[in-house]
A and B are shown apart, each in its own frame.
Chain A
Amino acid sequence: RKEVEQDPGPFNVPEGATVAFNCTYSNSASQSFFWYRQDCRKEPKLLMSVYSSGNEDGRFTAQLNRASQYISLLIRDSKLSDSATYLCVVPGGNDYKLSFGAGTTVTVRA
């Protein structure tokens, strides 16, 4: 089983819609989690950190389900600028290694 697995998508949604997708992880000891955003041919950038049950930042909500070992990301009122690949990131086996999922692609259409 991969350390981090994501539905690759793509999720094609109209502007204003809500889109949500999950990420499953295998390391049950992980305590912190991250969502990074990567635009086409650009570098990843941190979107949100998740340390407890969840986190909310504007239109973005991340939720953590430790029992089932998954993290979700929900985007409300989607904007065209939300079109990107969203990378789920989970700490690896030590203090500094991070395991990156392959990403979920979201395309918001006008």
Chain B
Amino acid sequence: GAGVSQSPSNKVTEKGKDVELRCDPISGHTALYWYRQSLGQGLEFLIYFQGNSAPDKSGLPSDRFSAERTGGSVSTLTIQRTQQEDSAVYLCASSLVSVHGETQYFGPGTRLLVL
């Protein structure tokens, strides 16, 4: 079956512009995660969605970052007034349920470069 998909695969933007990143999780997966991976660094947790529960936004680095998940499926991560330090790979993952033993399936990521 189809895996997690993300778009765009690459995004180059100018400092100060807004960007929107999209994630399509695996059908039927109730848990959805956004991570950020900078060069040579581990994955940094950003936000978590589980069903209709309030999302855990504790990993968002600033109020310029926001995310939505519509209809319990597609999610968008929005970065307003982008800064050069926002340049990274943004990875989305989904899992069937939100417990530690459940495998997280990652999308291919969006490579964001802020000039």
Q: Within 8 Å of chain B (Cβ to Cβ): is A20?
A: no
Tally inter-chain residue pairs, CB-CB below 8 A. Answer: 51
Is the Cβ of B100 less than 8 Å from the Cβ of A31?
yes
Chain B's closest residue to A97 (CB) is B45
Is the Cβ of A43 less than 8 Å from the Cβ of B108?
yes
> How big is the B interface, by class?
20 to 34
> How big is the A interface, by class?
20 to 34
Q: Given A43-B107, A96-B48, do A32 and B42 touch, yes or no (CB 8 Å)?
A: no
**Nearest CB of chain B from residue A80's CB, rounded to whole Å:** 23
Q: Given A96-B50, A102-B40, do A42 and B100 touch, yes or no (CB 8 Å)?
A: no
Q: Within 8 Å of chain A (Cβ to Cβ): is B12?
A: no
18 contacts between A and B (CB under 8 A): A42-B108, A43-B109, A44-B91, A46-B104, A49-B101, A87-B42, A91-B100, A95-B99, A96-B48, A96-B56, A96-B98, A96-B99, A96-B100, A98-B45, A98-B104, A99-B45, A100-B35, A100-B43
| B interface residue numbers (CB < 8 A to A) | 31, 33, 35, 40-43, 45, 48, 50, 56, 91, 98-101, 103-104, 106-109
